[in-house]
Homo-oligomer: A and B are copies of this chain.
Amino acid sequence: MSQGLTTTSYALLGLLRFDDATDSSGLTGYELKQRADNTLRFYWVSPAMSQVYSELSRLTRQSYVEAVADTGGGRTTHRYRITQAGRDALQAWLATQQPEFPILKHPVALRLLMGRLGGDKAMASMLQGYIDALAQRRTELDAVRDRLGQREAVRYAAMVADWGLAYYDAERDIVTELLGRLSSDAR
């Protein structure tokens, strides 16, 4: 009935669309979650396992995805593939809806706002911790970027990864500058 899916639904549908372009026989919920953790999590979300399954059943109900039972081993598992209706829906979503502005939930900035209560030293160590965490994330994303290489097939994914890397670098630079301000202002 209601054709309006959530963005997370479309994101997962998009991952299934990528898989569709290969000669794979579909993805299990478990595998889909891994794909999401690899790419989506850097600029969207890492849905919980349970949500992956519930989105998958929702998409199946909408006929945007079809499940093929895989009775190979002892337990029956399912492999999910995007359908033609799903491809159409994804295409339509991309073409019609104009994207919303990004949502940022930045606990570090929020705490810095209340810096008066914590003091310069506490803020400085918090910012340093954030710089470290950024470096860690950057390393993870860099590994993803390396795997993509220069292949034409993943050109857009590579652009998005480069975007993420540049974002982490910019954050590092800005925070480093703020850190300098904290120590030079120290009374």
A residues neighboring B (CB under 8 Å) = 7, 11, 14, 17, 39-40, 42-45, 90-91, 94-95, 98-118, 122-123, 126, 129-130, 133, 137, 155-157, 159-160, 162-164, 166-167, 170-171, 174-175, 177-178, 181, 185
C-alpha gap A175/B170 in the complex (Å): 13
Q: Which residues of the partner chain B approach A115 to less than 8 Å between Cβ atoms? A: 155-156, 159
Contact (A7, B174) CB under 8 Å given A90-B117, A94-B117: no
Q: Is A99 a contact partner of B90 (Cβ separation < 8 A)?
A: no
C-alpha gap A39/B114 in the complex (Å): 12
Q: Which residues of the partner chain B approach A163 to less than 8 Å between Cβ atoms? A: 109, 112, 174-175, 178
C-alpha gap A181/B160 in the complex (Å): 12
A21 closest partner in B (C-beta)? B116
A178 closest partner in B (C-beta)? B159
A69 nearest CB across to chain B (Å) = 28
Q: Which residues of the partner chain B approach A122 to less than 8 Å between Cβ atoms? A: 94-95
Q: Which residues of the partner chain B approach A109 to less than 8 Å between Cβ atoms? A: 43-44, 102, 160, 163-164
